[in-house]
Amino acid sequence: MTHSEDTCLFDLIPQSIENSIENNDINQDEEPITDFSVTDISKDIIRKQMPDIVDLLLIDRTTSTPKQKRNIIWATESYIQHGKNYAATSQIKLDLITGDREQIIIPRALKSQQIQQQRTRSKAEVFTPTWIVKKQNDVIDSNYLDDDLATYVKRKWLELTCGEAPYMVSRYDMETGEIINLVDRVGFVDRKLQRINAEIDDKTEWQLRVKDAYQSSYGFEWSGDSLLLARENLLYTYRDYYVAKWFKNPTHSLLKQVAEIISYNVFQMDGLQYIIPLSGKQEKTIKNQLAFFDDESTENQAIVESGKRVKIMNWETKEMEFFDEEFE
């Protein structure tokens, strides 16, 4: 499900990224990433070749501090058979999903039917066919087709409970796992990047407009595995449009810049309470009550502590602010 607003509250990037673009970092003669043209969704190249970028994609920006980095959590018991580090409240660490465990987190389309059904029953997780994504995004997009490019790419969109983020970027068919041709992709980030590729021929301006597109596009998800896949899909999508436009791979530095934006804008959240999943605590207390004839009776009462409220980056002030205050 998507949501779009007329105004974009966040139209700047962190100073480190902004400086890199202003200093023409996109023109550096850095060795381009090799073997990054994979189209098979069963092969996740960035986890093998770019662990520092995966580390960025694993960060939870709400719970991290300048002194301590924390990652998104699993938020599901689907992986507990692999050990205690895979418990629902445990952080997803790089060494838990790489090496001989690189196939632990895979797209829904590659999971067995049994696992798909289990997750549908436990978390109401379902795939949305691409044709439905297109119809729904078309309805919203039809209001903005007359926008000039700058207005269009800065328009703020949000995908609710995004899963693997098909409403943002439709890299592959959610049912079959087949890669979708670039011209046929229908996500709202796809639409922004398609216009940028069609209208911009200067590489520096192209990168700046792509930055606008990414930092004005949002999504949230409960399950940590799906969230990581969503973030990876957004990064792969950046690479796809870069190659389509410039006929070469983006540099490692550019990929890190985009990954940082993604780590802020696609985040983990309980969409009903606007908190980090499983961060609220429920405790049972005994409340004494006097009954008839002065006999004491007791009643169990559940006390629920508020969870950790999710924060997102205000790109204008470069400060983290509560999600429920920014998206009221």
pLDDT tens-digit readout, 21-68 = 444 455 544 444 444 444 456 567 888 889 999 999 999 999 999 999
266-268 sheet: strands from edge to edge: 2-5, 156-159, 217-221, 266-268
Using an 8 Å Cβ cutoff, are 233 and 169 in contact?
Answer: yes
What's the whole-model pTM score?
0.82
pLDDT, position 315:
82
H/E run at residue 53: helix 51-57
- Pick out the chain residues at pLDDT < 50: 6-24, 28-39, 112, 114, 116, 290-293
* Helices 224-246 + 252-265 axis angle, to 10: 140
Q: What is the dihedral of CA 324, 210, 318, 63, to 10 degrees?
A: 60
pLDDT, position 317:
86
pLDDT, position 298:
52
